[in-house]
């Protein structure tokens, strides 16, 4: 049909039923109200469906011009605009399909001019009222009128300018409501472009808004890496699309504004630190997801996409895999999600659980009874598949991986790996011995345990078989470390008597006594001085003795009377003491990382400003003189590394943080052994901190 034929058909219908035309005017107003603040994005999605790559909005003499470089209008497009719910688009193949979105722009103007290809026409309430005088009221977008020459000439210069820049379809909103338009543009979410297949550039230039948005794909591997540039500020996004359902993760920051998009952002949240897009069902305003059958099916597809991403994270060695995993896990923790009321996030993770099947069941996690550092050492020889240490260190990762179907490594898994010579920490050996004790207590001694190097003596670490007929005694540190993990002296003697022989216990373990203190409660704990220790009068040794006094870095903790400038301020004072200390030290020449969640006997490790390898245990105090407790594992590590092990005593005030550093604390502090599952206490220490503003 030609333009004239379409116009004649619509005019005849209106003249034969003016009351119906009035009803359509009321419907049009309802649509405009329902789509309030969404009209601009309707034009954007029409441009996307027309295969546009560029989209522009600009002011011209208080008129609003909108252009795209997509395909020219044809008679089907014109008919779809004029009729309500008469779109020729197919759901799933385009963004719009209801055929009513364009009606929402009636709030902008009472006259709209459209120039596209061979079409030059306008919608005008005034001209429609003249054509249909019997109608009480008329809609704006129903009867197309030929474009008057005077109207075209008024805008010819700007139309030609846009055409010369490649824009093929131009909308002109005459005498537009500039205030409502400005508010709508200001609320536009630029992340919408991440989910558009065609549009790469969007320019908004009005009285109060001047925004240029570029969205370019810069790499495509297992996922698509996109750059979203907004007024010269660029963020990179990891995007993953399968079966027309997309996930996007922002590389930077701790993104919590995690909207569900139904091609436009809704007020629903995903439940993880990422955004998603699909053709979810929404209410007419497109602000709220409707959880009907179509939406549930799309959430199911989304869950499978996320499972593919999670599997990629776990099996890939790419640097971004850890960041991806961290942002894909539930924001509030998986246990919290399961008890929430019905929400998008709850339904999504229920589908993830349902579809995970045995996908992750072959992956072994660090068991709760073993520290992560030794577990990773044990599992590095591919005896079983495990998850990268970087992922296992993420808060909540173990819980989420168990939810997905991964299992903790069994004691048998660990023993099988011990057939290789491994330099396990004292803590790791003691944790294995503790579980061995439980196994032996309720059953026979596993025969393979005899040749495992799990016995620490003063002359080294040996297997049970190697010390069976020797004169080697257990080291005192080993015995106290076994106490620290929960084995009493009675347990130790019982275990070694069963694994080796009672004769060995009688000959070589007579140096450990079973006393009533093993059965005392914490309230009944007694104090015992550590033997062979040389307490000092609270003097804290210099941290960098090899540096000269003229070196500012070497004297940083001695300048306790100095309040430092804002350049040394902590960015977030509400974080844990370990993380605040980490940030402060790294701002002052250190290169440390947080290992506090690995339970390995210290909180921070890395390099000091001199390039020396160090370990720092962080202890928080509320007042000077408050008792500080060291675990037996911390004491053992300090004795093992006396020149690189440090204690950071930290006191956080309202707007300041004080940090005092003690080198070799087992030598420089007066420690008292307490029978409270064996900890080490000290309340006699010099406190000469450096003060930082918060």
Q: What is the pLDDT of residue 96?
A: 45
Phi and psi at residue 30, to the nearest 5°: -65, -45
Q: What is the mean pLDDT of residues 117-145?
A: 91
Q: Please work out, in degrees rounded to the nearest 5, the angle formed at the alpha carbon of residue 553 by the alpha carbons of 548 and 558.
A: 85
Q: Which fold has domain 3-188?
A: Heat Shock Protein 90 (3.30.565)
Q: In the predicted model, is pLDDT for residue 520 greater than 50? A: no
The pLDDT, as a whole number, for residue 298 is 96
* Distance (Å, whole) CA 680 – CA 338: 41
Query: 553-693 — its CATH code?
Result: 3.40.1350.10
pLDDT-derived band at 169, boundaries 50, 70, 90: very high
What is the distance of C-alpha 575 from the center of its chain? 17
Judged against a pLDDT cut of 70, whether residue 89 lies above it is answered with no
* pLDDT confidence tier of residue 562, bands split at 50, 70 and 90: very low
Q: Which of 32-41, 56-65, 107-116, 529-538 has the lowest mean pLDDT?
A: 529-538
The rounded percent of the chain whose pLDDT value lies above 90 is: 32
Q: What pTM did the predictor assign?
A: 0.67
* Separation of alpha carbons 323 and 328, rounded Å: 9
Q: Which residue has the higher pLDDT, 434 or 107?
A: 434
Q: Tell me which of 486 and 97 has the higher pLDDT.
A: 486
Count other Cβ atoms within 10 Å, centred on residue 266. 19
Which of 143, 139, 161 lies closest to 58 in space, CA to CA?
Answer: 161
**pLDDT greater than 80 at residue 95:** no
Per the model's pLDDT, the better-predicted residue between 258 and 185 turns out to be 258
- The percent of residues above 70 in pLDDT, for the chain, comes to 83
Best CA proximity match to 461, nearest among 506, 430, 437, 492: 430
> CA-to-CA distance for 464 and 482, rounded, in angstroms?
16
| Burial class of residue 306 (count of CB atoms within 10 Å of its CB; 0-12, 13-18, 19+) | buried
Place 340 in a pLDDT band, splitting at 50, 70 and 90. confident
Extract the runs of DSSP E, i.e. beta strands, from 255-299.
259-261, 265-269, 275-277
Instruction: Give the mean model confidence (pLDDT) for residues 589-614.
Output: 88
Cβ(331)–Cβ(312) below 8 Å: no
Closest listed residue to residue 368, CA positions, set 407, 324, 412: 407
Centre a 10 Å sphere on the Cβ of residue 531 and count the other Cβ atoms it contains.
7
- Domain-wise residue ranges, the chain: 3-188, 210-359, 424-519, 553-693
């Amino acid at each position: 049909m030609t333009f004239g034929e379409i116009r004649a058909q619509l005019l005849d219908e209106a003249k034969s039923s003016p009351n119906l035309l009035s009803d359509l005017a009321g419907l049009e107003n309802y649509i405009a109200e329902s789509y309030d603040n969404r009209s601009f994005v309707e034009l954007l999605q029409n441009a996307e469906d027309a295969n546009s790559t560029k989209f522009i909005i600009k002011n011209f003499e208080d008129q609003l011009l909108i252009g795209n470089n997509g395909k020219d209008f044809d008679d089907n497009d014109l008919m779809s605009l004029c009729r309500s719910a008469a779109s020729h688009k197919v759901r799933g193949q385009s963004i719009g399909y209801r055929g009513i979105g364009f009606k929402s722009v009636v709030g902008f103007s009472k006259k709209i001019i459209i120039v596209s290809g061979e079409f030059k026409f306008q919608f005008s309430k005034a001209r429609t009222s003249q054509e249909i005088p019997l109608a009480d009221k008329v809609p704006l977008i129903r009867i197309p009128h030929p474009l008057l020459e005077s109207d075209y000439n008024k805008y010819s210069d700007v139309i030609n300018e846009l055409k010369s820049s490649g824009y093929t379809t131009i909308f002109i909103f005459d005498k537009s409501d500039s205030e409502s338009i400005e508010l709508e543009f200001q609320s536009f979410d630029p992340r919408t472009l991440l989910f558009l297949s065609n549009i790469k550039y969007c320019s908004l230039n009005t009285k109060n808004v001047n925004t240029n948005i570029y969205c370019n794909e810069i790499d495509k591997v297992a996922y698509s890496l996109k750059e979203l540039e907004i007024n010269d500020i660029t963020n990179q996004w990891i995007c993953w699309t399968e079966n027309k359902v997309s996930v996007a993760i922002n590389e930077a920051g701790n993104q919590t504004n995690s909207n569900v998009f139904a091609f436009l952002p809704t007020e629903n949240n995903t439940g993880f630190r990422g955004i998603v897009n699909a053709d979810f069902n929404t209410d007419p305003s497109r602000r709220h997801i409707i959880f009907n059958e179509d939406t549930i099916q799309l959430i199911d597809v989304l869950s499978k996409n996320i499972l593919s991403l999670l599997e990629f994270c776990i099996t890939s060695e790419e640097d971004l895999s850890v960041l991806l995993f961290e942002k894909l896990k539930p924001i509030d923790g998986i246990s919290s999600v399961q008890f929430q009321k019905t929400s998008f996030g709850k339904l999504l993770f229920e589908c993830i659980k349902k579809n995970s099947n045995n996908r992750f069941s072959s992956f072994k996690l660090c068991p709760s009874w073993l520290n992560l550092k030794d577990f990773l050492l044990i599992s590095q020889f591919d005896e079983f598949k495990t998850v990268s240490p970087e992922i296992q260190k993420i808060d909540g990762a173990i819980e989420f991986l168990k939810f997905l179907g991964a299992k903790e490594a069994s004691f048998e898994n660990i023993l099988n790996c011990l057939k290789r010579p491994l330099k396990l920490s004292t803590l790791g050996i003691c944790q294995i011995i503790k579980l061995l004790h439980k196994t032996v207590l309720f059953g026979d001694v596993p025969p393979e345990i005899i040749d495992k190097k799990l016995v620490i003596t003063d002359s080294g670490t040996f297997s049970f078989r190697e010390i069976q007929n020797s004169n080697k005694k257990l080291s005192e540190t080993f015995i106290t470390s076994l106490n620290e993990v929960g084995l009493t002296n009675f347990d130790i003697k019982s275990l070694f008597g069963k694994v080796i022989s009672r004769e060995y216990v009688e000959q070589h373990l007579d140096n450990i006594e079973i006393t009533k203190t093993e059965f005392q409660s914490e309230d009944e704990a007694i104090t015992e001085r550590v033997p062979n220790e040389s307490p000092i009068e609270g003097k804290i040794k210099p941290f960098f003795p090899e540096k000269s006094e003229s070196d500012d870095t070497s004297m940083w903790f001695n300048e306790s009377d100095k309040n430092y400038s804002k350049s040394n301020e902590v960015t977030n004072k509400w974080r844990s003491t370990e993380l605040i200390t980490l940030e402060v030290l790294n701002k002052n020449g250190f290169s440390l990382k947080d290992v506090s969640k690995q339970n390995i006997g210290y909180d921070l490790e890395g390099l000091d400003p001199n390039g020396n390898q160090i370990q720092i245990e962080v202890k928080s105090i509320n007042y000077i003189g408050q008792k500080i407790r060291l675990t037996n594992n911390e004491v053992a590590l300090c004795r093992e590394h006396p020149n690189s092990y440090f204690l950071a005593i930290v006191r956080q005030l309202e707007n300041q943080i004080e940090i005092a550093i003690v080198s070799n604390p087992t030598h420089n502090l007066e420690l008292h052994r307490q029978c409270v599952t064996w900890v080490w206490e000290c309340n006699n220490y010099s406190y000469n901190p450096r003060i930082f503003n918060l």
